[in-house]
Amino acid sequence: MSRILLCLSVHRLHHPWQCDSGAVVNVTNLKDKNKDEIIVPYPQAGVWFISVKSQCFHIDPNKSEEIVVPCNSTLPVANLTVKLAPCIDGGCGKYGTCKLYMETDLLYSACNCYSGWRGYGCNDGSKAVSDGLERLAVYLLTLSNLGFIPGICLAIHRKFYVEALVYFYNMFFSTFYHACDSSGIYQLCIMPYNALSFADFFASLLSFWVTLMIMARIPHGVRSFLHMLSALFISLGEVYNRHGLVEQLLPIAGGVFIVIVSWGVESYRRKTVFPSKKRLLRFILPGLVLSSMGLIIVLAFQTESNYKYVHSTWHLLVSLSILFLLPPGRYKSDTSGSLSVQSGDITRQPFHERPDEYLANIHHADDIDVVAPREPASPPLTPSIGRERGLKLQSRQQSRQSLVL
């Protein structure tokens, strides 16, 4: 029988019998010991040496000892193969993935372990997370996005269709992003991870923006322009630094500023607080508390260990705040069959198309409990508060709108 001793070392050559700082391979021609391998993680740069020594022996049947003898007949033959492979044979087992990294001119690989597994090959499970907790994390992070459904329904009911579309987009991609990201064992990726990540972060900020813009008292054309402007800059910020604090808070701060300025202008125009104190206390304040709590717990308390609980709470708080922050539905004031007032000018809509229908809806001021003077002046004076006289025009299609002349 024969054996081969091999010593692998860097920077200098070692004798196979004195391979103190190298790696040793000991193979024999026995069936169960005729193959061996050395794995060198992160090999150093430099010159590597291999020293080999062959040896023949036989086993003393009486003492069960190996006795070295000269190799007279044939010398042992060995095949030596040297190869480079990322991680461990290109993989990291069940609980990790092999990734390649590039730093300046250095290319190296490493195992990215998940579920608490550690080690060079993700084979150390001393701090591994149980399968039950893995499934719980997936369920919490995905199902918590269903909190957007009430907000979507309310937006549709109040005819805020753009906002409802953005909320649905946010719910959809946040659900599948976390289904792909929350666990390395239980995952469902409907598209590349980077695309899901971008869609989730982009939709989150866009949901904040459209909610703030619908709260602001601004013209419809300006709102449409700001929607497009925000989409362009939010997408740019997400590509530049998706996890940056400035990129996350800047759109929200800009939207809050627009809301405050528009409310201030409207309050000045009306000579009273806008929105009303009742709406501020019953709706705006609870909505702001919910959304602010969500932002605070994510920015201040979220860690890797409590991510599944804190981030799921964030989903619920922010999605439920929509129910309080969405303003009441607004009705158009320029439909046919009504009198429209724009900038103090009264414009009468055409009556010749359906005269009978409009005449049927002309009521005298006395019929609608409006106090009128007994002897009106001629020509009539400008009506004072509480003493109005004239005609009230109502449309069948839009009975909510009226104008006292």
| Cis previous bond, 275, omega within 30 | yes
The 10s digit of each residue's pLDDT in 73-128 is 666 777 788 888 888 777 788 888 888 888 877 788 888 888 888 888 888 888 88
Q: Taking the domains of the chain in order of start, what are their residue ranges?
A: 2-69, 87-128, 131-325, 339-393
**What long-range pairs does 91-95 form, CB within 8 A, spacing at least 24?**
92/121, 92/122, 93/121, 93/122, 93/123, 94/122, 94/185, 95/122, 95/123, 95/125, 95/128, 95/184, 95/185
The angle, 0 to 180 degrees and rounded to 10, between the axes of the packed helices 193-215 and 161-181 is 150
Q: What is the separation of C-alpha 240 from the centre of its chain, rounded to a whole number of angstroms? A: 15
CA dihedral 328, 331, 333, 337 (to 10 degrees): -150
Closest CA to 117 of 125, 108, 109: 125
Give the CA distances from residue 249 to residues 24, 113, 228, 394, in Å, rounded to whole numbers and listed in that order: 57, 31, 18, 47
**Residue 368 above 50 pLDDT?**
no
| Section 345-368 average pLDDT | 46
**pLDDT category of residue 233 using cuts at 50, 70 and 90:** very high
- Architecture of the domain delimited by 87-128: Ribbon (2.10)
Residue 215, pLDDT > 90, answer yes
Tokens of 249: 């808070």
Instruction: Identify the pLDDT of residue 330.
Output: 59
> Widest CA span of the chain, in angstroms?
142
Question: If pLDDT is split at 50, 70 and 90, which confidence band does 31 have?
Answer: low
Mean pLDDT of the chain: 78
Arithmetic mean of pLDDT, 203-216: 94
Give the Cβ contact number of residue 70 at 10 Å.
Answer: 7
